[in-house]
A and B are shown apart, each in its own frame.
Chain A
Amino acid sequence: MKIIYTDSLVIGAGLAGLRVAIACKKQGLDTQVLSLVPAKRSHSAAAQGGMQASLANTTKGQGDDEDVHFMDTVKGSDWGCDQEVARMFAHVAPKAVRQLASWGVPWSRIKKGPRQVVVNAEKVTIEEAEQAHGLINARDFGGTKKWRTCYSSDGTGHALLNTVDNKAIELGIPVHERVEALSLIHDGKRCHGAVVRDLISGELFAYIARATTVATGGYGRIYSVSTNAVICEGIGQAIALETGVAQLGNMEAVQFHPTAIVPVGILTTEGCRGDGGLLRDKDGYRFMPDYEPEKKELASRDVVSRRMTEHMRKGKGVDSPYGPHLWLDITLLGREHIEKNLREVKEICESFLGIDPAEEYIPVRPTQHYSMGGIKTNAKGMSPTLEGLFSVGEAACWDMHGFNRLGGNSLAETVVAGMIVGEYVAEFCHETDLIVDTGLIKTSVDKLQQEIDQLLESKAGENVFEIKEQMQQVMMNYVGIFRNGDELTKAVSELRDLLRRSRKIQLKCKKRHSNPELVEALRVRRMLKVALCVAKGARDRTESRGAHAREDFPERNDRDWLKRTLANWSAEGELEPELSYEALDIMKMEIPPGYRGYGINNAIHHSDTEKRLAEIEAIVKNLPENATREQKQAAIMAFDLPIDLGEPNQRADMTAINQQEAK
């Protein structure tokens, strides 16, 4: 048994994990990163569209600031988010974009003068200010008041991940590739590291650290069709859950992206619609304005996905061997725009569909895309129940997305949360000792060793690939875009059955080293636990909020459900998680629950909403008349940030354009 000691252990080498590692390393801590794949292959690379930050450089971004970004994020979340976290996030996002620029990201820049764009299917000319020339550009995305999404063509995630990984290389941060963390080492109170399997040699290692950060991304692959990379299987969430101490939050909050290509589920960026692309049905008819006259194709993702499904249920979908789909029309953007700004989309259309999107429509349908739920953390990114365990990025329920994430806010979260939580991880490392309990380490390693031995020795049992496929089908069929009690009950019962079966797996390949079947077997049992948290959480949440849409409970019910679902796996032999709930306190909110601005306003209100609104009014009244925006905000809902990150964000002075416009 090899033991490796470090200060800060980071599991996952995507943007969030690398950014935490950089924060720790910069503070002089020994830092090690673990990754299933080479860092630059992480799923962060697949983010096409961009990263939200209220720089307010462009004409269409004028007037943007942290307040507007915050409000969009809260509304987008359907009031399910932690408003303190959303505030921290909105404040640091501009710093993150600028820091990334200084590290080398080739952000698209603004060119002064007129440029043609497509807005609501019409070509319009907008004028960019002379003062804005050379500053970072932004495009339009769904659910945002201003054009706020900073981008590099449609390869933003790739550009960011390249740059951040290069920074990690520059700082000499070791990334141990092709290894998998399969359990956390803990004593019931504090996390001390992880048991890790080398995917090439099969060897087991114990990594012992002051702080352990899980940054393993989402759990999309519990569904059969997902835009997620094949490595996004939720193992990070599973190993946290399996401690029995750490909890998962809001696992039922699963986002479907409106425009993944049919049948394979590869994403075409929201930038397609942001840049002016339209959705059309089998008759070529643009249907979104009928459902959402105000925001049309650019309503929140959950709204657009549901409207598309509704429309297809009315028989307006295009028939295909893979079931109905709709069309995404970007032909009106013109070839030049597509080849420059939507180039990945073009490549995907050519390689997987054999079509030219400048000439033909793209077949799309809503597909599993993002995991709002994850390892429950506090605002500092640490598990409230297991000290020393941090989580960041999509793996976490830090909870700035609540029940629906806005496009451009996930890429932003990875880096922004990495910056903020990274500082808290480093602080924790400085303040706490490395605890080495060799007995505890041995027990943890032995346990995994026994699991592996048992799998390799079993003479009869289930086929791992079949169990996995069945799980993915159950999730797709019963825990999808529209949900109801009967189907969710069925899902929970079928997943329980699969979990039981997964305890008796028989492997055909008996190798101890690089054995893909063994890897699958170790994962599928863990994935099933995650799937059960999603299904049971969805079954018990008898309301509709954000991406969680119950046909039998269509109202957003603030009175009974303004709370976070917490999932615990109390004992190993259990077949489902225990759920408990944590209320979101309206009296601490900066924006009490209100109307999101889409669809029908059918929320069941909470009595505290009126109370809090009155309280806020009083707070504002008592402030001096010349109080600044920041002072007002602080009086209503103060929030903390690590030193340095709390400073105000400067914005370029565009007064001259406004004067020009006035003329």
Chain B
Amino acid sequence: MAKGRIVTFKIFRFDPQVDDKPRMVSYQLEEAPGMTVFIALNKIRAEQDPSLQFDFVCRAGICGSCAMVINGLPTLACRTLTSKFENPELTLMPLPGFELIGDLSVNTGKFMRELAERLALYLHPKNEDDNIHAVEQRIEPEEAEKVYELDRCVECGCCVSACATKQMRETFVGAVGMMKLSRFALDSRDARDDDDFYHVLGNQDGVFGCMSLLGCQDTCPKDLPHMEQIAYMRRKVAGIPIFNK
């Protein structure tokens, strides 16, 4: 096989558990066909620096664990091909807006669990006594499809780290919080009504905190319609009712 070009990875290094200084460290690798940032980071760790911290789980763009800032843009490292950059110099930084574990690893899990608890991001069923032995409740096929479309969030945190409001306002629920609420608002099985959603979204931590810079929509690796959802909810919160079910 022909020799590949040499790619330089400038990687943010910092260990918050010791008396450490944040710094950028460069590593070089020969590019192979199909090389992703996932492959490159694993190679660097195995061959050059075993202390390098980063997170991957599915390495297929499905689990959302490997979000990081690559050349200034929050994105999933596993499905970023190094060949997509003309300049063979990649800068890798951890996602801002989350607790840093070390180097490129951030604690998105802790953030998402707290958000889910705070916003009660689970189905509040209208019908509590569902009998699992009987034929299921019917749902319009279009509705099921629409709910699925909004349910595709992988909690990677790209939207949060690309959000200016979130950077200034710790308690802002972010696009991920609004998307998840609108997923339940759309679901006819959910018992919550306009008022319930107003209480959690009708303020500075919700739709009125959003500055519509749309970093969320630009960086969402699942192409979720954040803009549409936020605009819709904001319009509804400004008037009444919020949601037409």
- Give the contacts of A160-195 with B (CB-CB under 8 A): 162-163, 166-167, 169-170, 175, 177-178
CA distance in complex: A340, B141 (Å): 13
Q: Which residues of A contact B107 (CB under 8 A)?
A: 178
Q: Which residues of B contact A520 (CB under 8 A)?
A: 50
Of the candidates B33, B113, B123, which one forms a contact with A163 in the assembled complex, judged by CB atoms under 8 Å apart? B123
How far does the Cβ of B207 sit from chain A's closest Cβ, in whole Å? 22
Q: Is the CB of B152 within 8 A of A155?
A: yes
Question: 1/0 per position for B38-81, CB-CB distance to A under 8 A?
Answer: 00000001110011110111111111110000000000000101
Q: Which residues of B contact A230 (CB under 8 A)?
A: 56-59
Among A41, A175, A648, max chain B CB count under 10 A is at: A41
B117 at the interface (CB under 8 A from A): yes
Q: Is the CB of B133 within 8 A of A134?
A: no
Report if A37-B57 is in contact (Cβ < 8 Å); known contacts: A45-B63, A109-B140, A158-B62: yes
B244 at the interface (CB under 8 A from A): no
CA distance in complex: A648, B65 (Å): 41
CA distance in complex: A42, B184 (Å): 23
CA distance in complex: A162, B125 (Å): 16
How far does the Cβ of B95 sit from chain A's closest Cβ, in whole Å? 14
Question: 1/0 per position for A617-657, CB-CB distance to B under 8 A?
Answer: 00000000000000000000000000000011111100000
Q: Is the CB of A99 within 8 A of B132?
A: yes
Q: Is the CB of B122 within 8 A of A170?
A: yes
Q: Is the CB of B45 within 8 A of A516?
A: yes
Of the candidates B63, B109, B120, B144, which one forms a contact with A106 in the assembled complex, judged by CB atoms under 8 Å apart? B144
Among A102, A135, A159, A166, max chain B CB count under 10 A is at: A102
Q: Is the CB of B60 within 8 A of A46?
A: yes
CA distance in complex: A109, B148 (Å): 11
Q: Is the CB of A514 within 8 A of B102?
A: yes
B112 at the interface (CB under 8 A from A): yes
Report if A166-B116 is in contact (Cβ < 8 Å); known contacts: A46-B63, A134-B138, A134-B140: yes
Q: Which residues of A contact B33 (CB under 8 A)?
A: 321
Q: Which of A420-428, A503-511, A604-612 contacts B (4 or more CB under 8 A)?
A: A503-511
B23 at the interface (CB under 8 A from A): no
Q: Is the CB of A352 within 8 A of B34?
A: yes
Report if A514-B154 is in contact (Cβ < 8 Å); known contacts: A102-B127, A166-B123: no
Among B56, B64, B148, B187, max chain A CB count under 10 A is at: B148
Question: 1/0 per position for A419-456, CB-CB distance to B under 8 A?
Answer: 00000000000000000000000000000000000000
Question: 1/0 per position for A73-110, CB-CB distance to B under 8 A?
Answer: 00000000000000000000001111101111011111
Q: Which of A343-351, A404-412, A531-539 contacts B (4 or more CB under 8 A)?
A: A343-351
Report if A229-B59 is in contact (Cβ < 8 Å); known contacts: A40-B112, A351-B79: yes
Report if A108-B145 is in contact (Cβ < 8 Å); known contacts: A45-B58, A229-B57: yes
Among B1, B60, B143, max chain A CB count under 10 A is at: B60
B136 at the interface (CB under 8 A from A): yes
Q: Is the CB of A158 within 8 A of B138?
A: no
Q: Is the CB of B148 within 8 A of A155?
A: yes
A201 at the interface (CB under 8 A from B): yes
Q: Is the CB of B133 within 8 A of A95?
A: yes
- Give the contacts of A331-385 with B (CB-CB under 8 A): 340, 344, 347-348, 351-352, 354
B15 at the interface (CB under 8 A from A): yes
The count of residues in chain B whose C-beta lies closer than 8 Å to any C-beta of chain A is 67
Q: Which residues of A contact B121 (CB under 8 A)?
A: 166, 169
Q: Which residue of chain A has the shortest Cβ distance to B105 in the bound complex?
A: A514
Q: Which residue of chain B has the shortest Cβ distance to A110 in the bound complex?
A: B141
Q: Which residues of B contact A155 (CB under 8 A)?
A: 62, 148, 152
Q: Is the CB of A517 within 8 A of B51?
A: yes
- Give the contacts of B75-109 with A (CB-CB under 8 A): 79, 81, 101-102, 105, 107-109
B211 at the interface (CB under 8 A from A): no
B228 at the interface (CB under 8 A from A): no
Of the candidates B34, B56, B101, which one forms a contact with A200 in the assembled complex, judged by CB atoms under 8 Å apart? B101
How far does the Cβ of A180 sit from chain B's closest Cβ, in whole Å? 14
A231 at the interface (CB under 8 A from B): yes
Q: Is the CB of A516 within 8 A of B63?
A: no
Q: Is the CB of A648 within 8 A of B55?
A: no
CA distance in complex: A469, B46 (Å): 10
Of the candidates A45, A99, A263, A465, which one forms a contact with B130 in the assembled complex, judged by CB atoms under 8 Å apart? A99
Report if A169-B113 is in contact (Cβ < 8 Å); known contacts: A37-B55, A162-B151: yes
CA distance in complex: A267, B61 (Å): 11
Report if A515-B51 is in contact (Cβ < 8 Å); known contacts: A109-B144, A110-B141, A153-B148: yes
Q: Which residue of chain B has the shortest Cβ distance to A103 in the bound complex?
A: B123
Q: Is the CB of B101 within 8 A of A516?
A: no
Q: Is the CB of A511 within 8 A of B141?
A: no
How far does the Cβ of B125 sit from chain A's closest Cβ, in whole Å? 6
Of the candidates A40, A98, A158, A231, which one forms a contact with B152 in the assembled complex, judged by CB atoms under 8 Å apart? A158
A459 at the interface (CB under 8 A from B): no
CA distance in complex: A110, B15 (Å): 52
Q: Which residue of chain A has the shortest Cβ distance to B17 in the bound complex?
A: A513
Among B46, B112, B189, max chain A CB count under 10 A is at: B46
Q: Which residues of B contact A102 (CB under 8 A)?
A: 125, 127, 130, 132, 136-137, 189
Q: Is the CB of B58 within 8 A of A514?
A: no
Question: 1/0 per position for A488-520, CB-CB distance to B under 8 A?
Answer: 000000000000000000011101011111001
B168 at the interface (CB under 8 A from A): no
Among B79, B110, B120, B184, max chain A CB count under 10 A is at: B79
Q: Which residue of chain B has the shortest Cβ distance to A132 in the bound complex?
A: B138
Report if A108-B116 is in contact (Cβ < 8 Å); known contacts: A98-B132, A507-B50: no
Q: Which residues of A contact B62 (CB under 8 A)?
A: 45-46, 155, 158, 344
Q: Which residues of A contact B47 (CB under 8 A)?
A: 465
How far does the Cβ of A29 sit from chain B's closest Cβ, in whole Å? 20
- Give the contacts of B186-245 with A (CB-CB under 8 A): 187, 189-190
Of the candidates A106, A267, A647, which one forms a contact with B151 in the assembled complex, judged by CB atoms under 8 Å apart? A106
Q: Is the CB of A650 within 8 A of B135?
A: yes
CA distance in complex: A648, B61 (Å): 40
How far does the Cβ of A337 sit from chain B's closest Cβ, in whole Å? 13
Q: Which residues of B contact A517 (CB under 8 A)?
A: 50-51
Of the candidates B141, B145, B184, which one forms a contact with A134 in the assembled complex, judged by CB atoms under 8 Å apart? B141
Question: 1/0 per position for A13-57, CB-CB distance to B under 8 A?
Answer: 000000000000000000000000111111101100000000100
B147 at the interface (CB under 8 A from A): yes
CA distance in complex: A155, B153 (Å): 11
Q: Which residues of B contact A106 (CB under 8 A)?
A: 144-145, 147-148, 151, 187
Q: Is the CB of A158 within 8 A of B154?
A: yes
Report if A514-B61 is in contact (Cβ < 8 Å); known contacts: A99-B130, A170-B122: no
Of the candidates B52, B59, B148, which one forms a contact with A516 in the assembled complex, judged by CB atoms under 8 Å apart? B52
B36 at the interface (CB under 8 A from A): yes
CA distance in complex: A109, B113 (Å): 30
Of the candidates B63, B134, B151, which one forms a contact with A229 in the assembled complex, judged by CB atoms under 8 Å apart? B63
How far does the Cβ of B55 sit from chain A's closest Cβ, in whole Å? 7
CA distance in complex: A43, B60 (Å): 11
- Give the contacts of A247-265 with B (CB-CB under 8 A): 263-264
Report if A41-B151 is in contact (Cβ < 8 Å); known contacts: A230-B56, A508-B50: no
- The list of the 7 closest CB pairs from A to B, nearest first, reads A38-B109, A134-B138, A104-B123, A517-B50, A166-B122, A351-B79, A102-B130
| 5 A-B residue pairings within 8 Å (CB atoms) | A40-B154, A43-B58, A104-B123, A264-B59, A352-B34
**Apart from A97-B136, A169-B117, 20 more pairs, CB < 8 Å:** A37-B63, A41-B57, A95-B132, A98-B132, A102-B125, A102-B189, A106-B145, A109-B139, A109-B144, A134-B141, A135-B136, A135-B138, A158-B152, A266-B60, A348-B61, A351-B79, A465-B50, A517-B51, A520-B50, A650-B135
